[in-house]
A = this chain, B = another copy of it.
Amino acid sequence: MHRAVVALEGHIIDSLALPRVWDMIMDLGGNFDVEEFRVGKRKNEQSFVRLSVEAPDEALLEEILTAIQQFGATPIDEVEADLEAVTQEGVFPQAFYSTSNQPTSVRHGGKWREVENIEMDCGIAVADGRAFCLPVDEARVGQDIVVGYQGIRVRPLERARDRELFGFMQSQVSAEKPKKLIIGEIAKAIRQIRADGGSVLFVGGPAVIHTGAGRYLSALIRGGFVQVLFAGNALAVHDVESALFGTALGVNVESGLAIEHGHEHHMRAINRVRAAGGLRQMVETGQLTGGVMKSAIDHGVDFVLAGSVRDDGPLPDVITDMVEAQRRMRASLHGVRMAIMLSTMLHSIATGNMLPAGVRTVCVDINPAVVTKLADRGSWQSIGLVTDVESFLRELALVIETGAHG
């Protein structure tokens, strides 16, 4: 039998890390001995366990060690991480270590180095004593990339012990549950983040405008609660259409009644923005006097409009190349401590993929399947709400203002 000794430390029992490690070892066909076990007997004591893991061959042992690493089980010998150089532009060495979104360190030069900008499904580059996350597309010939499983330490986020919202909520809040208190807690968290100088990201789909909720998102922007905005062409087009004509895709955003022949408002709005040269020019020339995009421009929100294959037009402000769009989104994420994702599966998944596990995310959609997909990010930091986006934004805008004065 091939053996390795690993250690786990922390709230490994109530975070379920330890039972999961045991399960995984056995499920993969290995076995283990508990060599040492110190259990935290009280609420705020941590536990420690040392396991001897065994497997019939080296390949399986390696697989097991890689698998349990995501729960924080670290080989006890402090060996260095293996590095291998990129030999082809945009391609990792074959055995590259594929990241999770959990806080991760690599052992290099005799020290543990925190991986910067951690994000799932990337590689880890090491250079000048720094370790940082690298999307495969950005790999350049000669860069040193971490390969294998040794010398890598993952520290899964632990659930807060106190009754803190983002720890205690079930990850998904069904349509059958009350949402008042939750929205209140989200408002409180946003205000705390702002007080601490952190940023809040909103990711919005076109339903924000369709449902008439644009006014509430504008109010949040004006109140200083939105620093970054990710959306697509559709949100911006509907927003402009609604500012120019009072409709979104030809439907009156107040009444919900379809305007006969109103669908062409959509194309006229696009043509107008294209003629002006962009949204900013529309605002500057006084052609765009209201709406979410105007509020965003007026209040210096850092917005990224990423294109998609279904776009009409698109607006000149939309980034049509997806690699460039991802680069711009990543660049806007520094300092973001909470992400509110509103009725868009496409942009929410794109954003979720780029966020470290520690950023709190709130996902709002009326379709429970979408919420399930988005809220399940393997951390205690995500909440999904199955509800009407208009109701959510109305309540959030109301509560956050009241709180500000209360």
Contact = CB atoms under 8 A, between A and B. Distances in A.
Contact of A253 (B91, B178, B232): B178
A285 to B, nearest CB: 15
A67 B271 CA distance: 20
A366 B320 CA distance: 30
A402 interface: no
Interface in A310-367: 310-314, 320-323, 325-326, 329, 346-347, 349-350, 353, 366-367
A264 interface: yes
22 contacts: A28-B260, A67-B261, A91-B274, A94-B268, A96-B267, A136-B274, A136-B313, A137-B313, A176-B211, A177-B256, A178-B390, A180-B254, A181-B256, A307-B322, A308-B346, A309-B322, A310-B350, A320-B323, A321-B322, A368-B369, A387-B391, A391-B391
A33 interface: yes
Contacts of A163: 27
A80 interface: no
A78 interface: no
Contacts of A391: 387-388, 390-391
A-side interface mostly: mixed
B24 A14 contact: no
Contacts of A366: 175, 366, 386-388
A211 B308 contact: no
A32 interface: yes
Interface stretch (A15-23, A193-201, A220-228): A15-23
Contact of A14 (B23, B180, B253, B257): B23
A393 to B, nearest CB: 11
A148 B33 CA distance: 41
Contacts of A347: 309-310
A297 interface: no
A388 B136 CA distance: 34
Copies of the polypeptide in the assembly: 4
Interface of A: 13-14, 16, 18-19, 22-24, 26-28, 31-34, 37, 39, 41-43, 63, 66-67, 70, 88, 90-92, 94, 96, 98, 121, 136-137, 161, 163, 168-170, 173-182, 206-207, 210-212, 232, 251-258, 260-261, 263-264, 266-268, 270-272, 274-275, 306-314, 320-323, 325-326, 329, 346-347, 349-350, 353, 366-369, 372, 386-391
Given A26-B161, A67-B261, 12 more contacts: A13-B13, A13-B19, A14-B23, A31-B42, A88-B275, A98-B263, A98-B264, A173-B256, A175-B367, A177-B256, A320-B321, A366-B366
B346 A310 contact: yes
Contacts of A272: 94
Q: Which 9 A-B residue pairs are closest in the complex by CB-CB distance? A: A178-B212, A391-B391, A310-B350, A67-B261, A98-B264, A307-B322, A175-B366, A306-B309, A177-B256
B321 A309 contact: no
Contact of A350 (B266, B309, B349): B309
Given A41-B33, A387-B391, A179 B256 contact: yes
A310 B355 CA distance: 12
A370 to B, nearest CB: 9
